[in-house]
Copies of this chain bind each other. A is one copy, B any other.
Amino acid sequence: MTEQIVVVEGDGIGAEVVPAAVDVLKAVGDFEFVEADAGDAVKAETGEALPQETYDAVADADATLFGAAGETAADVILPLREAVDSFVNVRPAKAYPGVDALRPETDLVFLRENTEGVYSGHEDRLSDDLSTLTRVVTTSASEQLAEYACDFVGGEGGSFQIAHKANVMRETDGRFRDTIVSVADKRGVEVEEVLMDAFATRVCLDPTQFDTIVCPNLAGDVLSDLAAGLVGGLGLLPSANIGPDNALFEPVHGTAPDIAGEGIANPSATILSAAMLLEHLGYDDEGAAVREAVESTLAEGPCTPDLGGDAATEDVTKAIINKLD
């Protein structure tokens, strides 16, 4: 069976780094690629940032590789995460040898709740002075995330951390925390709790205190971007939006309008996202090979200007593919 991978380049450097990652996927497997549009450019043309065909294609695909969207990012990526029913956003943040990092010992994975919190998006303009947002936390979503987290750390005997703000959001983050702790307890997995503000200080002082961090949606957004700062920027962070039946993979970075079109974007985050895609589809050896090829290219070069080199996206991609042969 040939798996169908939907490819959404989006805007800016999405159109440069996604084709690079597709070339890498072609080098290791036999997939059917289906192109679909989303983002600022499509909106300018059609009035809609996310065409229904794209939503449907992503929902039906075995997996999707997404690049980045510009101004319309939230209008595109939030519905697409929903299209794959994604309950967890997996965000590894790892420093690589050869890359200048504020904390070279950083090696973390964030498991970010991906459907609710402030992202469930019920907002009301109650008066001229007052607006509200309804933040949502359910036991069911927290349970699903907790089961995933327990599997992720290898089940019984494993451990993870949970970062929350249940001292203030007692009922909602309290429910989140209690549910996760109780699932972990049943599964024989140890949980360390950290307040999200304390996490922000502590991860800077010593990131090796943590390994797998389970968070509500916005906490995961901010704390994983903080970890990106510790490993040298967003250019290296891949991510996976996992649903029960399919999944969407995307670099954590955006469209980088300052360098878009120049052919010098760093494709590493997107190629590492493709490695996560391979592993998700069961191609563990291929996924590992791609990750190793990216890592050794980061260590040995060539590298793009963001990492101090002068190579083009294409040069880096070729170097990675060469290592796969």
Q: Which residues of A contact B (CB under 8 A)?
A: 73-74, 78, 102-103, 118-119, 121, 123-125, 128-140, 165, 167-172, 174-175, 196-198, 200-205, 218, 221-223, 225-226, 228-230, 232-234
Contact = CB atoms under 8 A, between A and B. Distances in A.
30 contacts: A74-B167, A74-B168, A102-B102, A102-B103, A102-B204, A118-B135, A118-B168, A119-B168, A121-B168, A123-B171, A124-B171, A130-B137, A130-B138, A130-B139, A131-B172, A132-B134, A132-B135, A132-B136, A132-B172, A134-B134, A168-B218, A197-B221, A200-B200, A200-B223, A200-B226, A201-B226, A201-B228, A201-B234, A204-B204, A205-B232
A172 B135 CA distance: 12
A119 B165 CA distance: 10
A162 to B, nearest CB: 15
B205 A225 contact: no
Contacts of A200: 200, 222-223, 225-226, 228-229
Contacts of A168: 74, 78, 118-119, 121, 218
Contacts of A74: 167-168
Contacts of A123: 169-172
B121 A131 contact: no
Of A118, A129, A204, A233, the most chain B CB neighbours within 10 A belong to A204
B128 A139 contact: yes
Contacts of A234: 201
A124 B138 CA distance: 12
B229 A201 contact: yes
A198 B225 contact: yes
Contacts of A138: 129-131
Contacts of A230: 204
Of A74, A123, A167, A196, the most chain B CB neighbours within 10 A belong to A123
Contacts of A134: 132-135
Contacts of A124: 171
A164 to B, nearest CB: 12
Contacts of A170: 123
A13 to B, nearest CB: 16
Contacts of A135: 118, 132-135
Contacts of A225: 197-198, 200-201
A308 B187 CA distance: 41
Nearest to A219: B222
Contacts of A202: 229
Contacts of A167: 73-74
B203 A131 contact: no
Given A74-B167, A129-B140, A134-B133, A204 B229 contact: yes
Nearest to A253: B201
A247 B125 CA distance: 31
A22 to B, nearest CB: 27
Contacts of A197: 221-222, 225
